[in-house]
Amino acid sequence: MIRSQALRFVYPGGATLVFPDVMVAPGTVLLLSGPSGCGKSTWLALVAALVAPTDGQLEVAGQLLGVLKPAAADAWRARTIGFLPQKLHLSAALTVYQNLAMAQWAAGVPENAARIEQALASLGVAELAARLPAQLSGGQAQRVALARAVLLQPALILADEPTASLDDVAAADAVALLLATAQTQGATLVIATHDARVARLIPPKPDGQNGFEPLFLKGQ
């Protein structure tokens, strides 16, 4: 699902980030951790083809990244990646339903009302379809954003600091929601966080091993 080798990203006039080599199998839960500023968000941006690596190889879902032109990268991302950013970026002027319909439009697929309704229902927010984002609670907004992220049944779900500013109960709910959604979709899940609670909230496998693969970034 994700394979990288000698991956490096240099900010113009700024820091150089060197990332460890990874091999992530399909269906894995990857916990990307490290202190603030270590490069977690940059690694997610590389994996989502939002930026191109300066050096090295990065392959995601069978696609070699860094060689795609912007339009091709956008189309690939829409088909392959479900992204839950720390700032949810729901369009304030659009209803919940329209926010999801816009995701279909951005991916170049026809509006599919049944799929939108199914995505919202699967996350328990179907009754909120006509509301504006300002009318949602924080938890409701996160569920809507996750419904939008998985609307096109992506192979890979990326969540950036999904428990930031949440209390213990809400953090547990957020992690459980991500795990259940990824399992239902059959997707690989990457959670980027500096929150030590997240590792404790991922249940172990039946054989007692960790329920996630760790990737720790030290930064520069």
- Phi and psi based region of residue 89 (left: phi greater than 0; alpha: psi -120 to 50; beta: remaining): left
175 contact partners, CB below 8 Å, separation of at least 6: 162, 163, 191, 198, 201, 202
Domains of the chain: 2-216 (3.40.50.300)
Q: Is 137's pLDDT higher than 70?
A: yes
Task: Say whether pLDDT at 125 is over 90.
Answer: yes
Host H or E run for residue 122: helix 113-122
Mean pLDDT of 183-193: 95
Q: What is the pLDDT of residues 53-73, one digit of tens each?
A: 999 999 999 999 989 999 999
pLDDT band at 165 (very low <50, low <70, confident <90, very high): confident
pTM of the predicted structure, to 2 decimals: 0.92
Bridge pairing between strands 188-193 and 156-160: parallel
Residue type, 146: L
Q: For the segment 89-124, what is each residue's pLDDT rounded down to a tens digit?
A: 999 999 999 999 999 998 888 999 999 999 999 999
Query: Is residue 173 classed as helix, strand or coil in its secondary structure?
Result: helix
| pLDDT for 63 | 96
Cα-to-chain-centroid distance, residue 114? 23
Interval 10-51: pLDDT, tens: 998 878 999 999 999 999 999 999 988 889 999 999 999 999
Q: What is the pLDDT of residue 220?
A: 62
> Could you give the CA distance from residue 109 to residue 124 in angstroms, rounded to a whole number?
24
